[in-house]
Structure 1
């Protein structure tokens, strides 16, 4: 695996500002585990109206951050650089999502994602979101890998 500090996240994720949720990769282990960071800021567009007088990072954006961490793990583990554009990885499901605490501006959201299963072209990830050593969300995510970008998903 490459030196984590030298990995350019945008080469492995198709997302760009304001939808790029991963600020930093902390750890990648044996092509099945990744630990990333999203710094929550008052400037995040998702906080502008959620909620105006008491900004809370939306739960759906926590799930999106987990999804991007999982996508990044898959791309790095399989050496899939977006510059090659020969494949697609689609986020197709969320199971067992549980929100345990609120996330506020100034928090540092740590995401841990583990590949737990592969079935044909489907990949399953167990994800945990943590703020200050406290679990704020848990979920299992499912993705579909398509080697040919022109192939229809459904």
Structure 2
């Protein structure tokens, strides 16, 4: 894998990066049916970014949630936002001029430690496109706070904060 998965967008301010679904598969350990993010863009490595989750009627959770009234489970919306956070975190390692860690960079992805003050404002249904955003806060030892939001058609579907680990515990 190369150090830069995509070309930076250097309009003004810090360089931003975009990552395709193929790039994301190199960055995250998740695979179907748990890979929940299709694209990431406006990523400022280690700081913030945006992403897209296209919600399809073929998602496996719709078979039981609910069979006659398909609604994306809130935990899957949170997982989508958390995966965007992981992309932003891994992008910091990949795009840094400092030497990259040896091995598979997806092994550096940490864990979701806490879900705080997340509110759900709109049902997400098949055909919707979740637009995700995340802003990483300061590091607190091996933890990091993150502000996250998911919208559909400009309306907030979910928002709140997460605590993530900055690496995997042994």
For Structure 1 versus Structure 2, the TM-score category normalised by the shorter chain is 0.7 to 0.9
More strand by percentage: 1
CA RMSD across the alignment:
2.1
Q: Distance in 1 between matches of 2:79 and 2:51?
A: 13
Whether the 8 Å contact between 2:130 and 2:152 is mirrored in structure 1 is: yes
Matched residue count: 149
Match of 1:74 among 89, 104, 112: 89
Please state how far the C-alpha of 1:84 moved relative to its aligned partner: 4.7
User: 1:102 maps to what in 2?
Assistant: 123
Counterparts of 1:25-44 in structure 2, within 5 Å, are 25-29=40-44, 31-44=46-59
The match for 1:45 among 47, 60, 63 is: 60
Cα distance in structure 2, aligned partners of 1:73 and 1:5 = 10
Give unpaired runs (5+ residues) of structure 1: none
TM-score by length of 1: 0.87
Q: TM-score, normalised by structure 2?
A: 0.79
Distance 1:33 1:84 in 2: 19
For residues 101-132 of structure 1, give each alpha carbon's deviation from its aligned partner in whole angstroms, at most 9, with x where no partner exists: 10010000010001022111111110000000
Partner SS for 1:37: strand
SS at match of 2:147: strand
Give, in angstroms, the shift of residue 18 of structure 1: 0.7
Larger displacement relative to structure 2 (103-112 or 78-87): 78-87
Of residues 130, 135, 153, the one that matches 1:114 is 135
Give the counterpart of 2:154 among 133, 137, 142: 133
Q: Deviations over 1:67-122 (max 9, x none)?
A: 10111111111227771566451211110110011001000001000102211111
